[in-house]
Amino acid sequence: MPIKSEKTKTKWVCQNCGYETSKYLGKCPDCGSWGTLAEEVELTVKQNAASQRALRDDEPSLIDEIEIDSSIRFSTGLEEFDRVLGNGLVQGSLTLLAGDPGIGKSTLLLQSSCNISNNGKKIMYVAAEESSSQVKLRAKRLNLSSDSLYIYAQNNFELIKKHITDLKPDVVVIDSIQAIYSNDITSTAGSVSQIRECTNLLMDLSKSQNITIIIIGHVTKDGNIAGPKVLEHMVDSVIYFEGDKYKSYRILRCMKNRFGTTNEVGIFNMTEDGLQQVTNPSELFLNKEETNTPGNVIIATNEGTRPLLVEIQALVGSTAYPSGRRVSNGVDYNRTLQIIAVLEKRLGINLSKQDVYINVIGGMNINEPAADLGVALAILTCARDVVVDSDTVIVGEIGLSGEIRPVNNLEKRIIEAQKLGFKKIIIPKQLKSGEKKNFKGIEVVEVKRILDAISACVNKVTA
Ligand SMILES: Nc1ncnc2c1ncn2[C@@H]1O[C@H](COP(=O)(O)OP(=O)(O)O)[C@@H](O)[C@H]1O
Ligand SMILES: [Mg+2]
């Protein structure tokens, strides 16, 4: 019901973080952003749509007597997506898929919607931003067809709810939450109040009718979903779809998961025919011909529980400035400074008059210390004009005294290197005696210090 004007009280709500205040402020005291407070109508408890939720009247039950429904999870038809979700979608859950505009959220969900419907589930795709024919056009380009996928172009929540109740789908996709509005709220679609209430209403719908709902949310330019704090704690899972605008690969990352781990990632390639799964991501980031150059090193990093081989490059040269510049793309800047400091102090290499550039091929971001030894060897080989053997992979964290420290998931990294045809891997000394023999077809070299690693794999340039 529309709210009568004589009763309305207004409040100012930060459109970035959801902070509320009774008067206008230029700067949000909570998240610090400027000019984000907008006036919205305050709802009384009765008018608050969320308070109209259906009451569930279950008796308390003993944990041992609760039965688990075995059909609780189902596949999206995309293995990479399933893994990020923790082995598929959970029946009756509410998932938020967030990402930059144009990254491929609609494409991903249209592809999975088709797969899900072809597996015998009824699915309703609510296109709140596009017309049905636009969705059909996309489906045609992606070569998708299905006989139980309903497209509904609508952005009014009450009408969407009516059709969900009539159609009784197993899965509903809302594309996107920012375009949906409820009649109960007077503020415009996309405002924090609308997003919050619509998500709340969708949550009720999902839990009361056991419908799996996936909502798409656009990330605003400063990296937050509009009303992010408000949305993230309400939904069951939050998944980010990221990627480089200039590269075709996309990464699916789980930020919150009530039903599984949050450290898995899924990798896709965006092509004309839609998103292709990348089952062997290491190949995407490697360029084997270029590795036999000073400054190029291949490391085995971890994305979630999956190992990933990536190439790190360093460029070291005399500086035109009073002191050398350090530029680090893909590796944490402070980590790079720390590695340079260790090289200077422990190995006596003077880099103060040298510029050092670090780059990770393919635009990957590496956030783990296990890349340290690779970065150090890239800098060293470039500075001294030598090379790391091209069929060698480097793993290891560097401590401040120059020691190589253990890393996690080592076994998987070794197996990945061996699978991709590498002949040697340099690792920290952490294997138990006899374990080394388990790895066939790859020479495993354990090192304690940076110098050991250098003597194990660094050679003169052979033209
Ligand atoms: N005709 C096309 N050929 C190839 N790629 C396309 C075509 N149309 C769109 N795309 C790709 O799809 C992306 C848009 O995907 P979409 O799923 O609509 O993104 P989102 O829903 O996240 O805004 C574009 O950035 C582009 O990479
Ligand atoms: Mg879209």
Which amino acid does the sequence have at 79? E
Q: Rounded mean pLDDT of 363-391?
A: 91
Segment among 183-192, 242-251, 434-443 with least mean pLDDT:
242-251
Whether the CB of 107 sits within 6 Å of ligand 1 = yes
Segment among 36-40, 275-279, 394-398, 443-447 with least mean pLDDT:
36-40
Give the pLDDT of residue 54. 52
Are 171 and 113 within 8 A, CB to CB? yes
Reply yes or no on whether the pLDDT at 58 is more than 80.
no
Please tell me which residue, 292 or 206, carries the higher pLDDT value: 206
Reply yes or no on whether the pLDDT at 253 is more than 70.
yes
Mean residue pLDDT across the chain: 86
Work out the percent of the chain whose per-residue pLDDT is above 90. 48
Whether the CB of 270 sits within 6 Å of ligand 1 = yes
Biggest alpha carbon–alpha carbon distance for the chain = 84
Segment among 37-46, 54-63, 411-420, 444-453 with least mean pLDDT:
37-46
Give the pLDDT of residue 328. 95
Give the pLDDT of residue 48. 52
Whether the CB of 83 sits within 6 Å of ligand 1 = no
Reply yes or no on whether the pLDDT at 52 is more than 70.
no
Reply yes or no on whether the pLDDT at 304 is more than 80.
no
With bands split at pLDDT 50, 70 and 90, how would you rate the model's confidence at 242?
confident
Give the pLDDT of residue 403. 95
Contacts of 280 (CB under 8 A, 6+ apart): none
Segment among 4-13, 35-44, 428-437 with least mean pLDDT:
4-13
CA of 101 to the centre of ligand 1 (A): 9
**CA-CA distance, 450 to 403, in Å (whole number)?**
7
Q: Rounded mean pLDDT of 429-442?
A: 86
Give the pLDDT of residue 45. 46
- Probe residue for ligand 1, chosen from 78, 96, 97, 103 as the CB with the greatest number of ligand atoms within 8 Å: 103
Which of 388, 420, 190 shows the shortest CA–CA distance to 297?
Answer: 388
Give the pLDDT of residue 99. 87
Q: Rounded mean pLDDT of 282-303?
A: 79
Give the pLDDT of residue 460. 80
Reading the block at residue 306, the tokens are: 């999956």
Give the pLDDT of residue 8. 66
Q: Rounded mean pLDDT of 21-30?
A: 88
Please tell me which residue, 301 or 284, carries the higher pLDDT value: 301
With bands split at pLDDT 50, 70 and 90, how would you rate the model's confidence at 356?
very high
Q: Rounded mean pLDDT of 136-159?
A: 92
With bands split at pLDDT 50, 70 and 90, how would you rate the model's confidence at 364?
confident
Phi, psi of 393 (to 5 degrees): -115, 140
Q: Rounded mean pLDDT of 403-415?
A: 92
Give the pLDDT of residue 166. 93
DSSP string over 110-167: HHHHHHHHHTT--EEEEESSS-HHHHHHHHHHTT---SSEEEE---BHHHHHHHHHHH
Work out the percent of the chain whose per-residue pLDDT is above 70. 89
Q: How do residues 162-188 score in pLDDT, each as one tens digit?
A: 999 999 999 999 998 989 999 888 777
Which of 47, 94, 67 shows the shortest CA–CA distance to 209?
Answer: 94
What is the number of the ligand closest to the CA of 100?
1
Give the pLDDT of residue 4. 47
Reply yes or no on whether the pLDDT at 2 is more than 60.
no
Segment among 77-81, 141-145, 220-224, 444-448 with least mean pLDDT:
220-224
Please tell me which residue, 72 or 53, carries the higher pLDDT value: 72
Segment among 17-21, 173-177, 288-292, 332-336 with least mean pLDDT:
288-292
Q: Rounded mean pLDDT of 27-39?
A: 84
Q: Rounded mean pLDDT of 387-399?
A: 92
- Probe residue for ligand 1, chosen from 78, 100, 106 as the CB with the greatest number of ligand atoms within 8 Å: 106
Q: How do residues 106-123 score in pLDDT, each as one tens digit?
A: 999 999 999 999 998 999
- Probe residue for ligand 1, chosen from 129, 176, 251, 270 as the CB with the greatest number of ligand atoms within 8 Å: 270
Reading the block at residue 173, the tokens are: 């996709």
**CA-CA distance, 400 to 288, in Å (whole number)?**
32
Give the pLDDT of residue 101. 85
Q: Rounded mean pLDDT of 325-342?
A: 95
Query: Ligand 1 atom closest to Cα of 103?
Result: 22
Segment among 249-253, 329-333, 424-428 with least mean pLDDT:
249-253
Whether the CB of 178 sits within 6 Å of ligand 1 = no
Which of 282, 296, 243 shows the shortest CA–CA distance to 107?
Answer: 243
Q: How do residues 207-223 score in pLDDT, each as one tens digit?
A: 889 999 999 998 866 54
For 193, left (φ over 0), alpha (ψ -120 to 50), or beta? alpha
Q: Does residue 33 have a cis peptide bond before it, meaning omega lies within 30 degrees of 0?
A: no
Give the pLDDT of residue 225. 47
Give the pLDDT of residue 244. 66
Give the pLDDT of residue 271. 87
Quick one: CA dihedral 371, 222, 204, 19, positive or negative?
A: positive
